[in-house]
Chain A
Amino acid sequence: MSADVHKRTFVVWVEDQPGVLNRVASLFRRRAYNIESLNVGQTHEPGVSRMTVVCHADSDTAKRIEANLYKLVNVLEVDDITHKASLIRDLALIKVRATSDNREQIVRLCEVFRARVVDVGPENLVIEITGAPGKIKGLVTVLEEYGIEEMVQSGAIALTRGVEPSMTRRNNSRPTLVA
């Protein structure tokens, strides 16, 4: 594999039909593409779901991933947004041990990270944070000394800045290399 292997983010619009997630996941597995996260959810358009796939690949492989995704009948459009101006966010919920003595301290730490306390228990707090994976990792590191009881993190979801592709553009979209 060539030197330009790095993390790449694909946005994949798919028909909202049973089994589509399986088709996409199966493609990455059988072609041995190294997947880091895959997120799927609804969009404002009825019948259209949107996936954000983060994986490690060189630029040639990235083109083939795109072309292979287009081969799936239920895939409407693929956009490799790796080099596009975009917003990429993870969501994490972190349950951290907290006593009346250090609760204030933890809350102040959260403010630094722009995280929010969403639940308070007698012996713990649940903190919600959104942001790039690096920021979440930063908060996790400082919370570790208080004792993290449990945490959950979504995969990345991503949105390019500027205008989203319309359905019209989507129906004419093609893999790179093709007119």
Chain B
Amino acid sequence: MTASPPEPQAPITRESMPDRRGESLTGSQIIWESLVREGVTVCFGYPGGAIMPAYDAMLQYPVHHVLVRHEQGAAHMADGYARVSGEVGVAVATSGPGATNLVTGIATAMLDSSPIVCITGQVPAHLLGSDAFQETDITGVTLPITKHNYLVTRAADIAPTIREAFYIARSGRPGPVLVDITKNALQESCEFVWADEEPTLPGYRPTYTPLPAHIAEAIALVHKAKRPILFCGQGVIKSGASDALKAFVEATDIPVACTLLGLGGFPASHPRNLGMMGMHGEAWVNTAIQEADLIIAAGMRFDDRVTGNLKTYATGARKIHIELDPSEINKNVKVDVPIIGDVREVLGELTPHLQKVERPNWLARISELKGDSAVRDIKHLPDLGKLYAAHVIHDLWRLTDGKALVVTDVGQHQMWEAQYYHHEQPSTLVTSGGLGTMGFGLPAAIGARFARPDDNIWVIAGDGGFQMTACELSTCAQEKLKVNIAIINNGYLGMVRQWQQFFYGGRYAATPIVSPDFVKLAEAHGLKGLRVTSRADVAAAVREAEAHPGTVVIDFRVEQEDAVYPMVPAGADLHDMIKRPARQVDGKPAVHNPIFETGEDR
């Protein structure tokens, strides 16, 4: 007997999808019914034994599935999609190794509060706990790195669980939710029931209203402050508070410093934007923090990478902490006034009560701090015949008019990006901050592409991190995606090498890295590869990449042993920065050469 070929079917659209509520459907069908009802149009995944029934049912539904090359990529793609769209990203994997491969991506999303839902297949319920083939207790594994997770063993529980998972992932402080579904639940049938109203969970209260007393205290502190500074964290971007923040700053004239994930939350070109704070923040920003008498921290969590030594951190400053998650209050830094609530709402509530206070001395002091370390225009500075990462990223900023959607990997290039690519708009920088996940860049950019089909997307990656997920180049090829990839290739695991140079006597243990020929690697995938070894060729390569319809990899061979400056060593006082050594000319420090100092550029 021969199988007859499947009947050709008209493509199913969201509009032509019948309303199947009340019908008997399989658990697998219910997954896709639920996802479509949650507004999902794309998901990222990899099939396998336990999840196969769901994949079979997928063909009947208008959800585009992106086949990844490793499930870590699926989680990062869902994360990248979520970060730029503000919607929930979806990753799908099978049981066992499929599910465990998601773990790094889930932890990344957890630390950066990114809303993703991961759906994993699981062995049939009657085999749970028997060490069945490809069985892993993935709800146990992911318990500490998810906002919540579920094990579903009955078809009837699938729809309400997916509804809850999406609600939990996107509400309050967002985060990853994993739904593990046993194979029998995928195969069994039940009546499809869908509740349109938001789920009510007796123990889950994601929205908070600040105490009026705290609002009043904050207003008094702001009016009294002589040297105030406001911190713009990722919460500003997540809550859509950029305009509220601009209004706040225009009302108060208070200068703003950004965290890494807060970059873009407040326009880089705004006269009151000082730049990035922290370990590789601008020297004047860190010094200003140490000299401030009031910190207004909006949507940030005083990570150790921004505070340095807590004992000496901003000791002269009163602190107002605007934060959605009460468990962040006094976790790292003791604050005077906690305001628990949505950043946009809180700023909106504060601003009408605030009068502008003239603080000429404070603003003059900050200008003075900027003083000799500020670069006026890096473009005209000599490259000394070498290709510096700073030059590449600065030129990329210029050539893209600062309007690209930049997705970075993790390491030196990430910090140079933060210093040299100036972001004017929220959600134009996607980067792994909290977990610092190497390998994040390319897959996150693929995810972002599905949320921003028309944006000019640039991945900036190092030669080390890029290789961790370089297999996703195949995904770019299969999906015919357009992503530009700038590999800042210095032949080292650069950030670790820098730490070895500074703190481990220059002993380069396991940091020299041999890479494949990235141009040939791109070509092997049917993609375009370019190589740049001098600054003069940067612009032509960038233009060529942008003009090419498909994914392009540019191998930028940069100065090998360059370091990111300034740097606050881990745990050191925030004002105790390592600065780039002055260039010596005839045994004397040369006339100040700002390329050696910092990335400020206006």
A72 and B139 CA atoms in complex are apart in Å by 14
Among candidates A30, A60, A73, residue contacting B168 with C-beta atoms closer than 8 Å: A73
> Is B202's CB under 8 angstroms from A15's CB?
yes
Question: A15-B203, A179-B210 given as contacts; is B327 within 8 A of A71 (CB)?
Answer: yes
Residue contact B202 to A178, C-beta cutoff 8 Å: no
> Which residues, 303 to 358 on B, are CB-close (under 8 Å) to A?
325-327, 329-331, 334, 338, 340
How many Å lie between the Cα of A174 and that of B204 in the bound state?
A: 10
Closest chain B CB from A96 CB (angstroms): 40
* CA distance in complex: A15, B201 (Å): 10
Q: Does A153 contact B (CB under 8 A)?
A: no
Is there a chain A Cβ closer than 8 Å to B512's Cβ?
no
The answer to whether A71 and B325 touch across the interface, beta carbons within 8 angstroms, is yes
- B325/A26 in contact, CB under 8 A: no
Type the 1/0 row for B204-237, where 1 means its CB is closer than 8 Å to any CB of A.
Answer: 1100111110100000000000000000000000
Rounded to whole angstroms, the CA-CA distance of A18 and B210 in the bound complex is 34
**List of B residues within 8 angstroms of A170 by Cβ:** 202
Which of the residues B139, B214, B330 comes within 8 Å of A63, measured between beta carbons?
Answer: B330
Determine if B140 is an interface residue (Cβ-Cβ < 8 Å): yes
Interface residue B513 (Cβ < 8 Å from any Cβ of A): no
Assess whether A179 is in contact with B331, with CB atoms less than 8 Å apart: no
**A178-B208 in contact given A19-B139, A22-B140 (Cβ < 8 Å):** yes
- A176 CA to B99 CA, complexed, in Å: 37
Q: Is B148 an interface residue (CB 8 A)?
A: yes
Expressed in whole angstroms, the Cα–Cα distance for A26 and B149 within the complex equals 14
Specify which chain B residues have a CB less than 8 angstroms from the CB of A178 in the assembled complex.
208-211, 326, 340
When distances are taken between beta carbons in the complex, the residues of chain B under 8 Å from A74 are 203
Find chain A residues with CB under 8 A from B208 CB: 174, 178-179
Chain B residue with the shortest CB-CB distance to A14: B203
State how many angstroms separate the Cβ of B198 from the closest Cβ of chain A: 14
* A18-71 at interface with B (beta carbon < 8 Å): 18-19, 22-23, 26, 30, 60, 63-64, 67-68, 70-71
Taken together as a complex, chains A and B put the C-alpha atoms of A64 and B325 apart, in Å, by 10
B203 and A177 form a contact (CB under 8 A): no
- Indicate the member of A67, A175, A178 with the most B CB atoms within 10 Å: A178
Q: What residues of A have a CB within 8 angstroms of the CB of B205 in the complex?
A: 70, 174
Residue in contact with B201 in the complex, picked from A23, A60, A73, A179, CB distance below 8 Å: A73
Q: Which of B326, B329, B334, B338 has the most CB of A within 10 A?
A: B326
Contact status of A22 and B143, CB under 8 A, knowing A67-B329, A73-B168: yes
Residues of A within 8 A of B144 (CB): 26, 30
- Asked if A76 and B203 make an inter-chain contact with CB atoms under 8 angstroms apart, the answer reads yes
A75 interfacial contact with B, CB 8 Å: yes
Tell me the complex Cα distance, A14–B203, Å. Answer: 8
Q: Tell me which residues from 71 to 97 in chain A have a Cβ below 8 Å from any Cβ of chain B.
A: 71-77
Q: Would you call A68 and B327 a contact (CB within 8 A)? A: yes
Candidate in A14, A75, A179 with the most chain B CB atoms within 10 angstroms? A179
Asked if A171 is at the interface (CB within 8 A of a chain B CB), the reply is yes
- Complex contacts, B140 vs chain A, CB 8 Å: 22
Q: Establish whether residues A76 and B209, one from each chain, have CB atoms under 8 Å apart when the complex forms.
A: no
**Is B326's CB under 8 angstroms from A73's CB?**
no
**Docked complex Cα distance between A158 and B480 (Å):** 62
Q: Whose C-beta in chain A lies nearest to the C-beta of B330? A: A60
Q: Give the distance in Å from the alpha carbon of A68 to the alpha carbon of B168 in the complex.
A: 16
User: Chain B's nearest CB lies how many Å from the CB of A36?
Assistant: 21
| Count class of interface residues, chain A | 20 to 34
Which residues of A have CB within 8 Å of B214?
177
> For A174, what are the chain B residues with a Cβ–Cβ distance below 8 Å?
205, 208
A168 to B202, CA, bound (A): 10
Given contacts A22-B140, A23-B143, contact A175 B204 (CB under 8 A): no
Cα–Cα distance between A63 and B204 once the two chains are bound (Å)? 18
Q: Which residues of B contact A30 (CB under 8 A)?
A: 144
Q: In the bound complex, do residue A64 and residue B203 qualify as a contact, i.e. CB atoms below 8 Å apart?
A: no
Residue ID in chain B nearest A64 by CB atoms: B327
Could you say which residues of chain A place their CB within 8 Å of the CB of B326? Answer: 63, 67, 70, 175-178
Q: Is the pair B202, A177 in contact by a Cβ cutoff of 8 Å?
A: no
Q: Establish whether residues B209 and A73, one from each chain, have CB atoms under 8 Å apart when the complex forms.
A: no
A19 nearest CB neighbor, chain B only: B139
Tell me the bound Cα distance from A15 to B325 in angstroms: 22
| Least CB distance, B564 to chain A, in whole angstroms | 31
Interface residues of A in 126-179 (CB under 8 A from B): 170-171, 174-179
Instruction: With both chains docked as a complex, state the minimum distance between the C-beta of B411 and any C-beta of chain A, in angstroms.
Output: 27
**Chain A: minimal CB distance from B110 (Å):** 12
Flag if B203 contacts A67 (CB, 8 Å).
no
A179 / chain B contacts, CB cutoff of 8 Å: 208-212
Partner of A177 from B139, B147, B340 at Cβ < 8 Å: B340
Kindly provide the distance from the CB of B146 to the nearest chain A CB, expressed in whole angstroms: 10
Shortest A43–chain B CB gap in Å is 14
The complex places the Cα of A35 from the Cα of B340 at a distance, in Å, of 27
Q: With A and B bound together, what is the CA distance between A64 and B329 in angstroms?
A: 7
Say how far A130's CB is from chain B's closest CB, in angstroms: 30
A15 to B204, CA, bound (A): 11
Q: State the Cβ distance, A168 to closest chain B Cβ, in Å.
A: 11
Q: Which parts of B135-186 form the interface with A (CB within 8 Å)? A: 139-140, 143-144, 147-148, 151, 168
Distance, CA A32 to CA B331, complexed state (A):
13
B204 touches A73 (CB 8 A): yes
A177 and B143 form a contact (CB under 8 A)? no
Bound-state CA distance A44–B59 (Å) is 48
Output the least CB separation between A60 and chain B (Å).
5
Q: Which residues of chain A come closer than 8 Å to B143, judged between CB atoms?
A: 19, 22-23, 26
Q: Which B residues between 183 and 203 are near A, CB-CB below 8 angstroms? A: 201-203
CA distance A86 to B305 in the complex (A): 43
Contacts of B334 in A (CB 8 A): 60
Q: Which residues of A contact B148 (CB under 8 A)?
A: 72-73
Query: Which residues of B are found within 8 Å of A72, using beta-carbon distances?
Result: 148, 203
Interface centre among A63, A71, A75 (most CB of B within 10 A): A71
Shortest CB distance A116–B (Å): 38
Closest to A20 in B: B203
A66 to B208 alpha-carbon distance, docked (Å) = 15
Chain B residues in the interface with A (C-beta under 8 A)? 139-140, 143-144, 147-148, 151, 168, 201-205, 208-212, 214, 325-327, 329-331, 334, 338, 340
Which 6 pairs between the two chains have the least Cβ-Cβ distance?
A67-B327, A67-B326, A175-B326, A76-B203, A73-B148, A68-B327
A-B contact pairs, 23 of them (CB 8 A): A14-B203, A19-B143, A23-B143, A26-B143, A60-B330, A63-B330, A64-B327, A64-B330, A67-B325, A70-B203, A71-B147, A71-B325, A71-B327, A73-B147, A76-B202, A77-B203, A175-B327, A177-B338, A178-B208, A178-B210, A178-B326, A179-B210, A179-B212
- Taking A63-B326, A70-B326, A179-B211 as known contacts, 4 extra A-B pairs with beta carbons closer than 8 A to each other, sorted by chain A number, are A177-B326, A178-B210, A178-B211, A179-B209
Q: Which residues of A contact B (CB under 8 A)?
A: 14-15, 18-19, 22-23, 26, 30, 60, 63-64, 67-68, 70-77, 170-171, 174-179
